[in-house]
Structure 1
Amino acid sequence: MSEMLEEKARASGWFRELRDRIVAAFETLEDSAGAAPGVFEVTQTRRAAPDGGDAGGGLMSVMRGGQVFEKVGVNVSTVYGELGARAQAAMAARTGLPGMAEDPRFWASGISLVAHMQNPHCPAVHMNTRMFWTPHGWWFGGGSDLNPCLEYPEDTLHFHAVQKEHCDRHGADLYPRFKAWADEYFYIPHRGRARGVGGIFLDDHCTGDWEADFAFIRDVGTAFLPAYLPLVERRMGMGWGEDERDAQLVHRGLYAEYNLVYDRGTKFGLETGHDANAVLMSLPPLAKWI
């Protein structure tokens, strides 16, 4: 397996470009809400290498207390180094690639986004896309899923329709396959229910044609804004009270449980030494349990 230097640069550049698009769109939405719009705080993040050397990092962009977004984070990172024994075993088991123990080097780049909204009628949302490389193989992963505390069927239909439109450009089998994967992946066994209303999810995606797979993962990311922004614009002006807020906080508790107990990205980020604040950016600012 080659070092794929050009492909890595293109992938990490795309994730940064997508980050910039989304941050600009969210800032525009905040500005439209009127007085004292929220702003993103941007900080550099670093991955801690065991020997203290350079292991990459990224940008953490978080808005708190906005008019539309109570808390939203849009992170990008490019990290590299060597996988520890547990991560090696997990990667080998999932991908079937040999040789992880003999050469455990890795490189990973991606974007991760989670939005928790002020208005309970506006759905929370998660999106991420990434590229992963080892000397033994490369793959893409990610997806996007909607997490309303108050579900509107027409919002769910729109979100899924946009995901399907972008997947269908690359094959009619992709959307149903990755929708089913999301339904399974975002299920919370100890609650006996899904985290939200689904979307798409994929991991270890490698057809052997890097250009085709990269084009597909770009469309997964490109689908996010047209799938999500119309829902926020439709709901952000709706009135709400104590009952709606209570439902929102309880649902956030469900979201936090999933991310801390089951989410693969959270586990990988913490186990490989990435900035803990960036890894745990997905957690809501307030939540409750009953």
Structure 2
Amino acid sequence: MTGTMEEQKRRASDWFRELRDRIVTAFEALEDSQTEGPMADLPAGRFEVTETRRASEDGSDAGGGLMSVMRDGRVFEKVGVNVSTVYGTLGDAAQKAMAARGVPGIERDPSFWASGISLVAHMQNPHTPAVHMNTRMFWTPSAWWFGGGSDLNPCIEYDEDTAAFHAVLEEACEAHGADYYARFKAWADEYFFVPHRGRARGVGGIFYDDLNTGDWEADFAFTQAVGAAFLPAFLPVTERRRNQPWTEADRDAQLVHRGLYAEYNLVYDRGTKFGLATGHDANAVLMSLPPVAKWP
């Protein structure tokens, strides 16, 4: 299927919203099914949904999206699933950042359009890993590309969980490019590294950006596959660990690891920097931060 770029933008935006709806439904069902463990007496968690808007300098329509956040559930201590479609003109800082990345023509025309989904989950049980996923499409008058990925962030690592999570991502990648998994796993290992701590923020996953092979359909299909692989990769790990007993020491390890996660997202994450630089709703941009954290 082919079409004009405007049709392709619409299809991408619609897909991100469809994926959001699928994930929200699955996570609320997971909350309903949590009938064991120390959190089982809590009300099953539900998402609170808020419309978000991008603030433009001249007050014109600049797009927006939905921020969906669940707090204090039986399985999820905090999880956010955001979708947005924003457009307009890049500010100076964002324009310079794009130029530094080699986006052609951005110095002449800073117009842009971007759509995507972003998810971060912080769990109640310290044995159940936190997780991040996002996919997006970006357009300027002279270029378009896709980006995204997914990575697992346990405070207590289990080799079988890491292997299972990566196996689903590898299968999704191999259907679209023989070298995609190896390339994008290596990119994730590099990207999700915390230099000032000298360590990774988790056990990795995949990460890709600036994906434009010249075939929009193929690149969109791969991006859809990355998004569709998220639930099959994450839910089995969650279901395996969610009833496992934990100690105060486990909880302490979880909170310290959340501090590491917060440091990374505030200092290094591209999405955080872009969202704040382009005037998107700050609460939505900072949705990824954990509800409680500590530092050693």
Fold-level match, TM-score > 0.5? Answer: yes
CA distance in structure 2 between the aligned counterparts of 1:8 and 1:258, rounded to whole angstroms: 30
**8 Å CA contact 2:99, 2:107 repeated in 1:** no
Q: How does 1:159-174 map to 2 (within 5 A)?
A: 159-174=165-180
Q: 1:24 is matched by which residue type in structure 2?
A: T
Structure 2: gaps of 5 or more residues = 36-40
Deviations along 1:154-187, one digit per CA (max 9) or x if unpaired, are: 0000000000000000111000000000000000
Deviations along 1:178-217, one digit per CA (max 9) or x if unpaired, are: 0000000000000000000000000010000000000000
The two structures, once aligned, show a CA RMSD in angstroms of 1.0
Identity among equivalent positions (%) equals: 77
Q: Hey, what does 1:207 align to over in structure 2?
A: 213
Secondary structure of the residue that 1:288 maps to in structure 2?
coil
Q: 2:56 is matched by which residue type in structure 1?
A: A
2:66 to 59, 64, 70: 59
Q: Hey, what does 1:76 align to over in structure 2?
A: 83
Is 1:141 the counterpart of 2:142? The answer is: no
Structure 1: gaps of 5 or more residues = none
CA distance in structure 1 between the aligned counterparts of 2:142 and 2:4, rounded to whole angstroms: 10
2:163 to 153, 157, 161: 157
CA distance in structure 1 between the aligned counterparts of 2:34 and 2:100, rounded to whole angstroms: 48
Q: 2:10 is matched by which residue type in structure 1?
A: A
CA shift, 1:92, in A, is: 2.1
Q: 2:78 is matched by which residue type in structure 1?
A: K
Secondary structure of the residue that 2:83 maps to in structure 1?
strand
Is 1:246 the counterpart of 2:223? The answer is: no
Q: How many residues align?
A: 288
CA shift, 1:137, in A, is: 0.5
TM-score, normalisation: structure 1: 0.98
Q: Hey, what does 1:120 align to over in structure 2?
A: 126
**8 Å CA contact 2:104, 2:143 repeated in 1:** no
CA distance in structure 1 between the aligned counterparts of 2:103 and 2:264, rounded to whole angstroms: 28
Deviations along 1:190-249, one digit per CA (max 9) or x if unpaired, are: 000000000000001000000000000000001100000000000000101100000000
Q: 1:151 is matched by which residue type in structure 2?
A: E
Q: Hey, what does 1:256 align to over in structure 2?
A: 262
CA distance in structure 1 between the aligned counterparts of 2:150 and 2:6, rounded to whole angstroms: 27
Q: 2:235 is matched by which residue type in structure 1?
A: L
